[in-house]
Amino acid sequence: MNDPLAWLMNIVIMLPGIVIGLSFHEYAHALVAYKLGDDTPKLQGRVTINPLAHIDPIGFLAILLIRFGWGKPVEIYPGNFKNRRRDSILVSLAGVMMNLLIAIFFTLVLKLMVTVIDYNFFVTGMGNSIFMMVYYVIFINLMLMIFNLLPVPPLDGFSIVTEVFNLRKSEFYYCVSNRGFLILMVLIVFNITGLVLTPVISFLMDMVETVLYL
């Protein structure tokens, strides 16, 4: 915040990645749940890519200010699924798979840009901003994918682990899920999530840069 203009410009550059990442992540959850027989997301207006349906105002503001936030979770009723465990896993995986697909798509877009457009454009202010905007779409979606795969409630990874190992009826499940947000905050505050995320994201972004400059 020593340079408010630079901070604001950084927010503007990151904003498309944040909006796209959160909106499509939650849309994927809603769409897959609806296709598997649960009308709840459809009735609540969540089967849409409209960001207004998925962005939680407080969570969105937190992302802008402290670089950690959240979208509006998609409510589902697993009792509507034909195969509760399998379909719950598919719904949980849908969000992270959507983030992966978006990251791959924009990597290809960026590859096309650096191949077709003259390099001198990217050293201009506008060119660099456009490059970084697309780059952040890739980075943020990979970050969302890896972060949501952590087996900690209320993240998708915990839901996947719960269904794979059929933990829902266990005492462990209720003990952990009831304290999920607190556990997650402790992991974030003490940077334990960072110890996991940083090397994985660095590896994935190295792969992205390898693709860009092949």
Contact 102, 142 (CB under 8 A): no
**Hey, how many other C-beta atoms are within 10 angstroms of the C-beta on 122?**
16
The Cβ of residue 10 has, within 10 Å, a number of other Cβ atoms equal to 14
- Sequence-ordered alpha helix ranges (H) in the chain: 4-35, 40-43, 57-66, 84-116, 119-122, 125-148, 156-164, 171-177, 180-189, 192-212
Residue 195 to residues 131, 140, 150, 200, 209, Cα–Cα distance (Å):
28, 17, 12, 9, 22
- What distance in Å separates the CA atoms of residue 105 and residue 140, rounded to the nearest whole number? 13
209 is catalytic: no
- Considering 26, 75, 163, 209, which one is annotated as catalytic? 26
Task: Write down the residue that tokens 């924009």 correspond to.
Answer: 106
Catalytic residue numbers read 26
